[in-house]
Amino acid sequence: MATKDGTQFIFSSVMYRAVRGVEIELKEVVAEFNIFEDINKSYLTASVLIGDDTGIMDEVKIKGDETVTLIISKNPKIADPEPYFRLDFKVVSIIRQEKTADRAEVLSLNLISVHGYNNSVVKISKSYTGRLELISKSILRNFLNVELSMDAKYYGDQGSEQEPIKLLVPYLSPLETVEWLTERATDRWGTPFFIWASIWGQNMSDTTTLRLGNFMSMVTNGITSAEERSGQDGQNDFIYSQVQTNIKAPEGYLGAMRIIKNIKFANIENTMKMIREGAVSSTISNIDAYTSQDTSKLFSIDELLKSLNGGGEGSNTGKILGTVYDQKDQLTLGDLTKPTAYWSARQRNTVTSYGTYATVNSIHDAIDESSLLNKVRPLSIRSALARNMLEIEVDGIGILEDELSVGDIIKVRFVTEDLSSTTLTGSNTERSGYYLIQNCRHIFNRERHDAVLMICKIAQADILNDNSMDRT
């Protein structure tokens, strides 16, 4: 958001450093800086556009191993000049380089988090024993000098459901290993864990911290935080008007920074994709080579949604993930009619060997039917999260002021009338609700900061009035 004094942020520093002893401040020649966050990636990526008409880049011979340190701060003409965040990147490649005059050129560089770059040269071949998340924390710290945050806001207070395991890492990189462990971890409802990098991960220090979260903690705590941010009469909600796309809020409106300027719907409501992935219903079977025990269990998204929403009967519409699947949907094949969630569309087979590591389980062991289903439940949740993704564009300053990132929940309201006052009426209840930020593109340029978010609906806006979310 721009004001008469300029943008509400400044490039405090864009420092280019090379091991060859070159150190150049680029903040005056940076035209645009893009940062990409993704809940499924344990590192950040970025691109920087440099418009050099001073010849400063002539001194730089880019080899693809340089470091770029970015510091974004508040504009001292508007507020106290404190920094928002600092991020360290490695140069991966030159996307484009074009001469526009004798002493002028345009460069576009592809960047990645320093630990993401370092990860490419490290392979692990050793064994570990312990809980999934503690093994992950040890690997990140010892091999990449990266910390793993288990903040209660995302991680909760119970940890993963799996017992301590014996793990043999088969020559994988640290991030590959940690992502493998995270994919296996579930909470007691069988919902997945995520590990991701955030723009807030360095907090002005040299050490990067990744976030670890599980779906239910992210949802329950995130919805509460979103409601607290919402303010009186929803003044701080993210607002989209179906009447006026380029809506302009009245002066003094608290949610002015959270107006959705553009929105895209693409490839949504794809139930068949979920069915093919086995996310609606599938069968998982396991045979144990040591005990010869053969276990087979039907997974149904209907049972999963009931579990997430308190175990009650009836429709889950308006509750957690209540809009991703129509519980009334039925299929008739031959003379048999039953709900789609009970037609097994996919067969999964696993083999384990209990006792291989004496009394300690391996990463693949499933000791009962519930732990066997916990291999399928997180896959279903991930498929559901990808089902109805929306792309929205908002003013980035609201994201910075609220310190929002991927993994956070925002409250979005789709209204059908102009904003002529702070009282909003005519909300589209089918679309309005709480949304999870799955990835975010921050676009910083000389004039403004925009944020393009990929979000998916988690629940209707009235879910806080439903005691099914009380997990105490």
Q: What is the pLDDT at residue 209?
A: 95
Neighbours of 125 (CB within 10 A): 9
Q: In what order do the strands lie in the sheet with 146-149?
A: 146-149, 208-214, 193-196
Q: Does the domain formed by 231-268+388-469 have CATH 2.40.30?
A: yes
Residue 168 has pLDDT above 90, yes or no: yes
Alpha-carbon torsion angle 198, 204, 207, 213, nearest 10: -30
The bridge status of strand 146-149 relative to strand 208-214 is parallel
Note the pLDDT tens digit of each residue in 185-243: 999 899 999 999 999 988 888 899 999 999 999 999 999 999 888 876 677 788 888 66
Mean pLDDT of 335-356: 91
Contact between 27 and 54 under an 8 Å Cβ cutoff? The reply is no
Note the pLDDT tens digit of each residue in 272-301: 999 999 999 999 999 988 888 899 999 999
Nearest to 432 by CA among 412, 446, 449, 447: 412
Query: Domain limits of the chain?
Result: 2-115, 127-212, 231-268+388-469, 271-385
Alpha-carbon torsion angle 251, 253, 254, 255, nearest 10: -110
Q: Distance (Å, rounded) from C-alpha 378 to C-alpha 182?
A: 11
Architecture of the domain spanning 2-115: Beta Barrel (2.40)
- Alpha-helix residue ranges (DSSP H) falling in 295-448: 301-308, 369-373, 377-385, 396-401
Note the pLDDT tens digit of each residue in 299-308: 999 999 988 8
Note the pLDDT tens digit of each residue in 449-468: 999 999 999 988 765 544 44
Q: Distance (Å, rounded) from C-alpha 341 to C-alpha 68?
A: 50
Note the pLDDT tens digit of each residue in 59-74: 777 888 899 999 999 8
**CB-facing half-sphere around the CA of 436: CA atoms within 13 A:** 30
Mean pLDDT of 36-64: 87
Residue 118: both structure tokens together: 């370092």
Q: What is the largest CA-CA distance in the chain?
A: 78
Contact between 452 and 392 under an 8 Å Cβ cutoff? The reply is yes
Radius of gyration of the chain (CA): 24
Q: Distance (Å, rounded) from C-alpha 137 to C-alpha 295?
A: 33
Q: Distance (Å, rounded) from C-alpha 434 to C-alpha 413?
A: 9
Which DSSP helix (H) or strand (E) runs through 136? helix 132-144
Percent of the chain with pLDDT over 70: 88
DSSP 163: P
